[in-house]
Structure 1
Amino acid sequence: MDISNTTARNQSTDNSGSAVLGNGSSAEEMSTMFLELLVAQISNQNPLQPMDGTAYVSQLAEFSNVESLQSIKKNTGASLDHNSSMLVLEATNLVGETVAVPADVIALEKPGTVSGLVNLSTPADSVTVQLYNSNGELVEEQQLPYSGVGSLSFEFEQQDAGGYSINAFSTTQGVSQRLTPWLNGEVERVSVGSSSADILLQVDGLGNFALTDINQVA
């Protein structure tokens, strides 16, 4: 018996086994390949220098780790696909609903109401919201009732068709701070891209917004 050739054959089997296991596409395929390689190693081992039994145990443990990682990857991918599908379904259900989005300009195609809210993170002495027309003229101003931090709603009724802008600010001890207005609008259309991050909501009179831009559904 040519021991050197047998030993070389054994080493070649070990190296090819590592390469094949590293490129396995599924846990089932990898399991089959591992068993085939294990049988090949036992059949072609050097009878004068047989492999230690701990080596087989070590290989089995390594294979189990790879198999576990493959399973985790598969389950994670399935979970992400499910979440993306749920987000798309949630977005399409918003068509016809009124949502609040971060915007300070709005275009009314017909006479109507300009409404929305402002969020306060710190106490203030007063909160003011101003409505301007497309010419920059002050149309109406409101002092919002204040009871602490949180959300305060505003509404400017009976406005003519046209473009408007909102200026909101709080005042504390004579110092003013600009506030981000959130305007209400109806979702007219939902655009879905290749992923959930590409979902866009077309809001009447306000423009396009991501699903994560929504503050609340009115």
Structure 2
Amino acid sequence: MITFNTTVPAATSTANATAASSNAATANALGQQDFLTLMLAQLKNQDPMQPMENGEFLAQLAQFSTVSGIEKVNDTLESLGDGMRDFRISTAANLLGHEVLVPGNIARAGKDGTINGVVDLPKAASSVTVSYSDATTGTLLHTESYAAQSAGLMGFSWAGLPPAMVENRSPVRVTVSATTDTGTAQVGPSVFAKVLSARNGADGADLTLQIEDYGALNALEVEAFR
């Protein structure tokens, strides 16, 4: 069996050392063809009496394959990153002017003139009461009662806002009270609020939404939109 060795004669060792030194600065830029050229030069200049071992030869090939594979992975990740940035920009554009569901109790009439939201009941309730009041004056506007509800999400809506409040999109405060086997207590609702603007982070990694009445919100925190 023919074997190979990395040992080279003294006459060529100095020349190879000089070449290696000059190539060190551009090692990171070497491609497959450069690698093969260097490999052939190494084989031609080796000592015939002490040729390179097969294992060493295969190890070098494996090392190059690994580096080549890493470069391909990096290129793929970079391509995915560009795609994600484009996706975020598209998402931001689509959300402008729409409403997203956010935790809070200040709501305004949507395009259909209604206020909509959900409440996450921690346990089953024998009754649930949702109250709507003017967020500016505190005046009670409407109260709606719901029969027994299971634990979990419960939706609510009110379509009877005064026309002036619908036209002016006046803020309304939503209060939810649930009666359970341990008594009556308030439960924090989530309401739909309008997206005023959207902005990508400096590195394109985060998409921040400016929500009416609630300020900045990471898009990843949005549970639903309409």
Is TM > 0.5 for Structure 1 vs Structure 2? yes
Q: Secondary structure at the match of 1:130?
A: strand
State the shift of 1:56 in Å: 1.3
Contact 2:127–2:146 at 8 Å: present in 1 too? yes
**CA 1:176–1:188: 2 relative to 1, 3 Å:** same
Superimposed CA distance per residue, residues 28-47 of structure 1 (whole angstroms, 9 cap, x where no aligned partner): x4312311221232233233
Q: Secondary structure at the match of 2:48?
A: coil
Q: Secondary structure at the match of 2:160?
A: strand
Task: Provide the residue aligned with 2:145 in structure 1.
Answer: 143
The answer to whether the aligner puts 1:167 opposite 2:175 as a matched pair is yes
Q: Tell me the TM-score normalized by structure 2.
A: 0.71
State the shift of 1:64 in Å: 0.8
The answer to whether the aligner puts 1:207 opposite 2:209 as a matched pair is no
Superimposed CA distance per residue, residues 59-89 of structure 1 (whole angstroms, 9 cap, x where no aligned partner): 1112112211211221122123212312221
Equivalent positions of 1:64-143 (< 5 A) are 64-106=65-107, 113-120=114-121, 122-132=123-133, 133-134=135-136, 138-143=140-145
Contact 1:114–1:156 at 8 Å: present in 2 too? yes
| Structure-2 separation of matches of 1:166 and 1:67 | 59
Percent identity between the two aligned chains: 25
Q: Secondary structure at the match of 1:157?
A: coil
| Structure-2 separation of matches of 1:190 and 1:30 | 42
The AA in structure 2 aligned to 1:154 is: S
Task: Provide the residue aligned with 2:156 in structure 1.
Answer: 153
Contact 2:127–2:149 at 8 Å: present in 1 too? no
The AA in structure 1 aligned to 2:189 is: P
| Structure-1 separation of matches of 2:20 and 2:121 | 66
State the shift of 1:94 in Å: 1.9
What RMSD over aligned residues (CA atoms) do the two structures have, in Å? Answer: 3.5
State the shift of 1:51 in Å: 1.0
State the shift of 1:173 in Å: 0.4
| Structure-1 separation of matches of 2:77 and 2:205 | 18
Unaligned runs of 5+ in 1: none
The AA in structure 1 aligned to 2:224 is: Q
Aligned residue among 152, 165, 187 for 1:179: 187
**CA 1:46–1:136: 2 relative to 1, 3 Å:** farther
Unaligned runs of 5+ in 2: 1-7
Q: Tell me the TM-score normalized by structure 1.
A: 0.73
Contact 2:100–2:194 at 8 Å: present in 1 too? yes
Q: Secondary structure at the match of 1:46?
A: coil
| Structure-2 separation of matches of 1:83 and 1:134 | 41
| Structure-2 separation of matches of 1:176 and 1:56 | 78
**CA 1:9–1:100: 2 relative to 1, 3 Å:** same
